[in-house]
Structures are given as structure tokens and as C-alpha cells.
A = this chain, B = another copy of it.
Amino acid sequence: MASAKDRILDSFEDILIKEGERAATMDAVAAAAGVSKGGLLYHFPSKEAMVEGLCQRLEALTEDDAVKIGAAPEGAARYYVRTSHYVDSPLDRAIVAVARLVQQGHPAAAHAFSRIQDLWLKALEEALGSRPLAQAVKLMGDGLYYSATFFSGNAQPADVTEVEMEALLEQVDALVARN
């Protein structure tokens, strides 16, 4: 069984993703994690501490992913854009959850988010050998990620189908081939 701390962070993530930051109260998180409010406050003495815990989880998961970008057989550009399609992985969940916190001005979340963007851009630039190309690729991936995860719950606007993703990856290939 996962530790109480992990279960609490899982529940915190879940509510942030599905219902937004405002719904992610200490009360709601405690109930979802199956502990009392007092029990939650034993593990995370303040809400800020809980936010901090989630940020640390995100940074660790991103560092792993940055390594994978450089090692992807299909190439860094394709890997980045393809994995920018939200699939509810632990990394995806952590990203979206922390993104919600950033939008509310939580300083720790903003710092963590800024740092992971840097990690990705640097990994792309190193693998592709061109900064403008790395930026164009990153923007496509970010735009994709953004449109898929922006809306709370399942109210996504422009869901990308498999066919559209293939067409998009061809556009990416064209850019890489040109540079």
C-alpha cells in the first residue's frame, strides 16, 4: 500500500485536475484520501507544504523525462510532440495539477514550472542542434498539451485524433528535415 503522504498527494492531484484549484481544499483532499483533516495536517502542516510536496514530485518526474528526450529512437522532436498528447500518466497528472496551482499564483508552483520548461527546452536544443527549431517544436508540443489539458475535467475543446496527430508529426518532420 502506498504511504499516507503519497495517497494524499494523489488525491490532491486528482481534485486539482478534475475540479480546479478552488475545489482542492484541505477538507476535500482529506476526504478523498480517506483521512481526517487533522490526519492530513500531521503529514503536511500547511497547505503550502502540500503544494511544495507536489512540486517536488513533478520536478523528479520531469528530470526522468528530459533524459528520455535525448535517448528517443524516433528522434527528440517526434518524441516531444507525441508525448505532449495527454495520456494521464503520473507525469501528465503532476504537470496539470501543478499548472492549476501556478495559475493561482502559488510561488513554489511557479518556480517548479519555470524550471521544468527550462529542462525541456535545453534537452530539445541539445538533441536537435538548433535553438529556433527547438523552440518551434516545443511550442507545437506545448500548444497541443495546453489545448488538451486546459479545461477542467473532460470539457476538452479540440481533442486531437490519431489521424490528426500523424499529420501533425509529419509537419514536425518537415521542420526537422529543413534545419
Where the two chains meet, the residues of A that have a C-beta atom closer than 8 Å to any C-beta of B are 19-23, 99-100, 102-105, 110, 113-114, 117-118, 121, 131-133, 135-136, 138-144, 146-147, 150-153, 155, 157-158, 160, 164, 167-168, 170-171, 174-175, 178
Residues from chain B with a CB closer than 8 A to the CB of A151 are 102, 110, 113-114
Within the assembled complex, what's the spacing in Å between the Cα atoms of A103 and B135? Answer: 25
Cβ-neighbour of A105 out of B19, B139, B168, B174 (below 8 A): B19
Taking the closest CB of chain B, its distance from the CB of A161, in whole angstroms, is 11
Within the assembled complex, what's the spacing in Å between the Cα atoms of A152 and B99? Answer: 11
Please, could you name 29 A-B residue pairs with CB atoms under 8 Å apart, sorted by A? A20-B103, A20-B104, A20-B105, A21-B103, A21-B104, A22-B104, A23-B105, A100-B103, A102-B151, A110-B151, A110-B155, A113-B150, A113-B151, A117-B158, A131-B164, A131-B167, A132-B168, A135-B168, A136-B140, A136-B168, A139-B139, A139-B144, A140-B143, A142-B147, A143-B143, A146-B146, A174-B174, A174-B175, A174-B178
